[in-house]
């Protein structure tokens, strides 16, 4: 349990570190886009190999695919609400937008901690860590202009706490859930992550660094594939 807590804290703390980087550091648009693309490539590998693919082996191909699509639809619906209904520069709208990607990712992280060894968790945790840093840096950089540095940092700290709680909840409250149910939860989270990559991560990366975004994505994918091989997956 101690290892699970340490993993959750480190992954969530990456949001705060990234926010500090975006608020107080200097980062060109090209560097931001490159890092975001690399993070997206890494997260794509983990979404498939750590979430969706194992779910097909436990719950069956069609149930896993169905839950993956449900996850993608739910994310898309929430994303639409954030962009078109909750058009707010206040804390609530921004908090929903920021946590949209993080909640399913961290829930999946918490689920993956159940009965898994350190190397098995490393692929998903490492990819989320790589994703959180640039997402927080880019988001905080944009939010500072409208909210100010102190409010922006406070919002990211609150978000890190919420996402850590999501991962911990997945670890604590899903312990007694059947393997089939856990597989479907993983598949749902995988679908949400995949949808977020298509609608949020890669478009932003291409906008900021259209020249090297493809190479950066491949580098992130290669890094995550190597990390996945260490877990014996």
Q: Please check whether residue 7 is in contact with residue 113, taking contact to mean a CB–CB distance below 8 angstroms.
A: yes
Q: Which domain holds residue 50?
A: 2-21+29-230
What pLDDT does 233 receive?
52
What pLDDT does 92 receive?
44
Q: pTM of the predicted model, to two decimals? A: 0.76
Average pLDDT per consecutive 10 residues, the chain (233 residues; last block may be shorter): 73 86 81 82 82 88 94 84 64 53 69 65 68 74 80 88 84 78 84 84 85 91 79 56
Q: How many domains does the chain have?
A: 1
What pLDDT does 25 receive?
82
**pLDDT tens for each residue of 61-100:** 999 999 999 989 988 888 777 767 766 554 444 455 556 6
What pLDDT does 1 receive?
67
């Amino acid at each position: 349990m101690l290892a699970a807590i340490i993993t959750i804290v480190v992954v969530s703390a990456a949001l705060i570190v990234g926010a500090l980087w975006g608020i107080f550091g200097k980062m060109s648009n090209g560097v931001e886009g490159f890092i975001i693309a690399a993070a997206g490539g890494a997260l794509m590998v983990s979404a498939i190999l750590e979430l969706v693919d194992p779910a097909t082996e436990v719950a069956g191909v069609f149930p896993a695919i169905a839950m993956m699509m449900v996850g993608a639809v739910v994310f898309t619906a929430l994303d639409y609400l954030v962009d078109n209904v909750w058009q707010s520069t206040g804390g609530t709208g921004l908090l929903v937008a920021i946590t949209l990607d993080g909640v399913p990712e961290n829930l999946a992280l918490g689920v993956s901690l159940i009965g898994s060894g350190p190397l098995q968790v490393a692929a998903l945790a490492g990819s989320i860590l790589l994703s959180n840093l640039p997402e927080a840096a880019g988001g905080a950089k944009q939010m500072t202009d409208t909210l100010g540095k102190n409010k922006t940092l406070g919002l990211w700290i609150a978000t890190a706490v919420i996402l850590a709680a999501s991962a911990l909840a997945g670890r604590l409250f899903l312990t007694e859930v059947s393997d089939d149910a856990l597989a479907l939860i993983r598949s749902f989270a995988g679908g949400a992550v995949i949808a977020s990559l298509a609608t949020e991560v890669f478009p932003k990366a291409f906008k900021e660094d259209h020249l090297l975004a493809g190479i950066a994505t491949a580098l992130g994918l290669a890094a995550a594939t190597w990390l996945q091989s260490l877990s014996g997956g």
